[in-house]
Amino acid sequence: MKVVVQRAIDAKVEVNNKVVGKIDKGLMLLVGFTHTDTSKEIDWMVNKVLNLRVFDDENGVMNLSLLDVKGDILSVSQFTLYADSSKGNRPSYIKALGGSEATVLYDEFNNKLREKGVLVETGEFGAEMKVSFTNDGPVTIILEK
């Protein structure tokens, strides 16, 4: 499981020119799964994302988590995180988990985040999405389990 975590002032995702997910202050997540991912990796990632100290405290030091600042999450499925471009110029996505299996894990991930009391907005799995956000910092961290 890979997640690109980006601290955001705002974020939204559109499908067919319609906003389907939108947040203000929080985290923009790009989420990808591979064939060996299970609930164990999801549980680890949920804990890591929620407790990652990437928000500034009163002294301007990144010492606060999403839970501390009561931020929201925009979670967007992103199979291309598992692209392999080591051979040639056309990436291979063989390491990415297929749609039906990945959908189950993606839903589980988002639901477990929600169970922790966080507002989680999402894109539309498998759709052509337009994602826009304002990266705050910029802060971008890649997590992998």
- Of the candidates 6, 34, 78, 122, the residue annotated as catalytic is 78
| Residue 78 annotated as catalytic | yes
What pTM, to 2 d.p., does this model score? Answer: 0.95
Is 6 labeled as catalytic in the residue annotation?
no
CB 21 within 8 A of CB 12: yes
As to burial, measured by CB atoms within 10 angstroms (0-12 exposed, 13-18 middle, 19+ buried), residue 18 is exposed
CATH code assigned at 14: 3.50.80.10
Exposure pattern of 93-130 as b/e (b: 16+ CB <10 Å)? eebbbeeeebeebbebbbebbeeeebebbbbbeeeebe
CB 46 within 8 A of CB 116: yes
Mean pLDDT for each consecutive 10-residue tract of the chain (145 residues)? 98 97 98 98 98 98 98 97 95 95 97 98 93 97 97
- 125 assigned to active site: no
Range of the domain at 119: 2-144
* Tally of domains in the chain: 1
Catalytic residue, from 79, 109, 122, 133: name it. Answer: 79
pLDDT of residue 125: 87
